[in-house]
Structure 1
Amino acid sequence: MDGDKILCRKTVWSSRPSLLISSSPVFPNSFDPADRPTQLDSEVHPTYTSMVAFVLFDWLRGLLVRGDDSTTRWIKNGWSFSPASFGHRRARELLAAPHSDASQWGPGVAVFEKSWAGRWRWQLVVLGSEVMGGANTAVIYFVDFRAGKGMFVKVYTTESVPHDRTRNAVMRVLGRQLGGKVWRMEHESRLDDSVASWDLLRGYRSRCILPSSL
């Protein structure tokens, strides 16, 4: 924090979060007066708690990027630019699932989300000690590129190699097919649209350098 502002790890400036007085068009079914929708820079979060979760996660990853000591490590990823594929559709299904849906997420899981301009969406699925055992935590990180044109899934964990508990948790949440693709770090793109796919990926990387983008 910087006074009543939040310091972005990727820039030298701070931003003041704004609490919304009603639900956002991006998250129309999410409004809790005790945990209101919040905008930080140009990104909208369905709750203030969600905004805090993304800021903290961003700083934790920043420690790793700078080479500082960090136990939260990226280990796996997968991406798809093929909307018709099962993996792509499964990822969108998970993004659409209610955060409180215990049948979907199971116990010991917390879900946070944000959106930029209604075209990009990010989701954190945090797997706590109830899922991971001991003091370990894992995060499944989703990015929805430009309203469903591309999907990106990344896995972070505090668990040591060989990451067995993380793998089991990822398979349970994502399902065997999507989970297997992510664990094997498989990537999909439409053969007739590979140039557009790479343009989207470059756009994602460019977007990542802006405040609060990850």
Structure 2
Amino acid sequence: MLAAGCGNDVAEALCDGGTRLAREGRHEEAVPAIAKCLGQTGLSDMTRAHALQSRAWSHSNLSQHALALADQEAAFKLRPAKDHREFINYAVYLRQAGRHDQSLYAVLSAERAEGGSRPSMMTQYHKGWALSGLGRYKEAVEAFTEGIPAQPDYAYVYWRRGLAHEALGNKELAARDFERCAQLLIDKREVAAAGEVLPALREKLAQYGLDKRLPI
């Protein structure tokens, strides 16, 4: 019994280390570390599910979308989703895999699980993104707009809403949203962290004649 207990402690420690790497954004290290953790015997379903979810997050950040989705679905088989954030992560992986209809369904599950009197930015942002992926731009604009009161300084919601406005032919509204997105990135000193959005946003600012006033 003591030997088994010790073995379980080692396995749990391996899993803790792997999930910590994922939380710290060290995804290339996290994937093999969590694989080693999952190769251990005697793990509880809860520990195994948590490790799978952490590895899914790392796979997603490494653009390994099919692997992220497989890990998240394996985690749900061990422990069904309850928290709205788990549904949101699942929605992200589905969207990244190009399964926009299922992504929307997952977001709607998050919306139901979330409860509360006011919609959150997290849920409405991903709802709008899923709707945009389905070409339902009017509904996407509504979802993005519904989330803004909960977090009005979240720059990327204006970027996504601007794209939806543009798809609807609402150029003036699109320009306002792109401008708002850029201004927030500047004000919050987040330009360098904007990743793949940054070159696309620069193109839009130039397209709408805003690049001289908002050099990012």
**Bin of the TM-score, shorter chain as denominator length:** under 0.3
If the length of structure 1 is used for normalisation, what is the TM-score? 0.26
If the length of structure 2 is used for normalisation, what is the TM-score? 0.26
More strand by share: 1
Larger radius of gyration: 2
Q: Which has the higher contact order (CA 8 A, sep 6+)?
A: 1
More helix by share: 2
